[in-house]
Chains A and B, each alone.
Chain A
Amino acid sequence: VKCQHCPPVRALQASATLRRAPDEHKKEPLTSSSQQHFDSPPAGHQPEQEPRGTHHSYTGQGGQESEDYESEEQLQHRILTAALEFVPEHGWTAEAIAEGAKTLGLSVAAAGMFHSDGSELILHFVSECNTKLSKLLEKEQKLVQLGEAEKKPIDEFLRDAVEARLRMLIPYIEKWPQALSVLLLPRNIPSSLSLLTSMIDDIWHYAGDQSTDFNWYTRRAVLTGIYNTTELVMMQDSSPGFEDTWRFLGNRVADAMTMSNTASQVQSTGEAVVQGLMGAAVTVSNAETSRAMR
């Protein structure tokens, strides 16, 4: 788990008044229990707190701060969350962040805390979506454990999970291609890659161990492939309710399932092929030696 460098522990004076002022935007006040959040396990176990990045991105700051003050990290989180509302209009830019800061009662100059290409905003959004997905899957799992729901077959589970995650992009779909290109910048690749893999791992974790004849890396790679290709299809999709995308997704998941069945066949075929080649090689070398000896 990658932890952020801890900023000096100082209270943010101004934010004390800020937090009281815009009540419409206020979520549940940070209780002192959240201050120990720093070392505790990630998101799903802190139900009422503001959603934080789960496994890899920004972790909350704890320490000696009292209830009224928040750290820089938390303030930055709030600004980014507020900024998401302005993304459909301004794109993933510093302008959206500036507008978000304005709604919190801060100066537009606060957007200067972030990179001007909007990277942090996009990464924040991705990590928020991943957290939402985790919570959703956990809830479903609970229902199954309580016997209130049927356990889904693996292909349906994967399809539903990926669809749920991709649906979170719908409000921002117009500007999402821009976000994808920013995520691919060399500077952002470590973070975006780790967010992606942690999300995929999460889905497989909740899928439970159902035998699919895949080993761990293959499973990860297969689902990542399904997710990425479906995401790209979604960018181009103009069908009502994205039905083309979901159909594509269903097909890819079905392909993956068939592949797992043929995988074992492929393996034995492979062995046979290799043995055949070895045999051929031995025959050829025998022939050569015997010819040489003649």
Chain B
Amino acid sequence: VYEVFENVAKKYDVMNDSMTLGIHRVWKDIFMHKMNPCPGTLLLDVAGGTGDIAFRFINYVRSVRQRQLQRKLKHHQNLSWQEIFDSYQKDQFNSLGDSQVVVCDINREMLKVGKQKAQHLGYSEGLSWVLGNAEELPFDDDKFDVYTIAFGIRNVTRIDLALQEAYRVLKPGGRFLCLEFSHVSNPLLSRLYDLYSFQVIPVLGEVIAGDWRSYQYLVESIRQFPPQEELKAMIEDAGFFKVDYENLNFGIVAIHSGFKL
């Protein structure tokens, strides 16, 4: 798995766009909307190498924070100018409302690309980058509000261990969210999807990234991955409650969610 991603790191984003025809951006946006984080949330994004989820999180929290501040100002109509000025000062340096995201990945290359992207796009505060293995996270218990793993869990060898680790590092009341390719139940769509996956994607891999084999691996690993209900059962086994999933695009992608209660 490590070598696959070493090859893939630099061209990761480009390949994502071409493989999914850019729809992966929409999937990730929907994912973020489902999370609906409020300012002050501590997020752990596992296998989040190039930072897509992390950046979306920061954007989302920033805009929620803006709205919060606006509402507070409206409330403060009756205060004196001095008081308003003071409250502005205090909140100005808190545009994220103490929210933070820790991006954890097993692969140094992916983290490097992520850091470069962050710099390039101007994300400076609220981000940390940590090298780590999903099956054995380098964090204490009960730390995070939300744990996400987007398109990463199928690459984990022992999914049950990763789920147990997720449970461990989450605070009580914390949420587990997983975005992953899943099974299409509709037979017609399934055939079209298979056709596209096995014929088109490895070719794109060769053309864009010069690497046929990694993308062949990718497509096969998608097929090997447990379907929605099975993954839901595994998440429940790890101790999560209110486990649910939402299919996007008829099951090509699914969002699983569970709570540590």
Contacts and interface: CB of A to CB of B under 8 A. Distances in A.
B41 interface: yes
Looking at chain A's contact residues, is the secondary structure mostly helix, strand, loop, or mixed?
Answer: helix
Contacts of B138: none
Interface in A89-133: 94-95, 98, 101, 104-113, 116
A198 to B, nearest CB: 27
A46 to B, nearest CB: 24
A94 B38 contact: yes
A14 B38 contact: no
A18 interface: yes
Interface string B1-45: 000000000000000000000000000000000111110110000
A10 interface: yes
A256 B198 CA distance: 73
Nearest to B75: A89
Given A14-B260, A14-B261, A107 B36 contact: no
A16 to B, nearest CB: 10
A85 interface: no
A65 to B, nearest CB: 13
B144 to A, nearest CB: 8
A111 B34 CA distance: 11
Contacts of A10: 241
Given A13-B239, A109-B145, A109-B174, A94 B259 contact: no
Nearest to A91: B71
B257 A106 contact: no
B36 A106 contact: no
B261 A107 contact: no
A94 B239 contact: no
Contacts of B38: 94-95, 98, 108, 111
Contacts of A194: none
A101 B241 contact: no
A105 B259 contact: no
Given A8-B236, A106-B171, A112-B175, 12 more contacts: A12-B261, A13-B239, A14-B261, A72-B261, A101-B173, A106-B172, A106-B173, A107-B174, A107-B175, A109-B145, A110-B259, A111-B38
